A = this chain, B = another copy of it.
């Protein structure tokens, strides 16, 4: 029996720049119809010029009209309504990072002062620009996301017309927040559906499974699985696929990120089949995102998979993917666009 998925979308993706961009962008472009592209380059993408130039570099790296990079700006509270209007047609969302919380986030928001944030967030509400948020405080690593829920609530309450996407959620607290506020949405990664902290640090320490937010407890994974497998209308797939060269992972200070882009669709298929919810994968992987991001255009693409072992490459360029060298159970047999 083959499984067909239409126009998969990756609503949280790191494409990096330069050589890494050339390595990873075609891998996403091959199987996805589009992806929300994160702006945490060095320096961050925070001007119209930088955004357009990055979009052009992505286009050159991909050379494929069947994939849309949905561009984002790195949130700054100094963005004016005039500026946002001028860039509106080029961008899909704005990504907010708390300062210093993950890779290249040093220039992020240092406090969450509503008064300071109000002009930009009000303009975003009026222009219907979604706010994507990396929701972690600088507290203890296992508590950061749960602690951030109060900030989500503050944002959701103060800006009720702003679409707020809780990115790569990892906790039951975030899942619970989804239903409390109409304007809160979430992306969920593949790896957070698969692993807990036990997989990262319960046996040998596994740097290739180290990411931010760090994988949490079994009950957190259960909460994520529940809303993903039922394709809760407020959740959508975002891989947070985040490539680092092998030497930056297997090192005395290992960078955060799991690289899943080339195998995400296959492994999601396996996972949803295993949990007898394959009929919901289309919504999780595309439909929900199209409803939430009402303003995106989505190229047609049809992915046909079969249950057939596929050996994951040990590396893509210098990047070690999830399940490197291991066998996964679904193979992409055809891609039509």
Contacts and interface: CB of A to CB of B under 8 A. Distances in A.
Nearest to A198: B141
B140 A207 contact: no
Contacts of A196: 140
Given A250-B250, A250-B251, A251-B250, A205 B140 contact: no
Nearest to A144: B202
A254 B209 CA distance: 12
Contacts of A205: 205, 207, 210, 253-256
B204 A140 contact: no
Contacts of A140: 196-198, 202, 217-218
Contact of A201 (B214, B249, B252): B214
A327 interface: no
A142 interface: yes
A142 B207 contact: no
Contacts of A251: 207, 250
Given A200-B201, A201-B201, A214-B201, A207 B141 contact: no
Contacts of A201: 141, 200-201, 210, 214
A208 B141 CA distance: 18
B320 A207 contact: no
A206 interface: yes
A142 B252 contact: no
A142 B198 CA distance: 8
Contacts of A207: 205, 207, 251-252, 254
A256 B249 CA distance: 17
A201 B214 CA distance: 8
Interface in A252-273: 252-256
Contacts of A252: 206-208, 249-250, 320
A327 to B, nearest CB: 18
A256 B202 CA distance: 10
A254 B204 contact: yes
A203 B142 CA distance: 12
A205 B256 CA distance: 7
A142 B254 contact: no
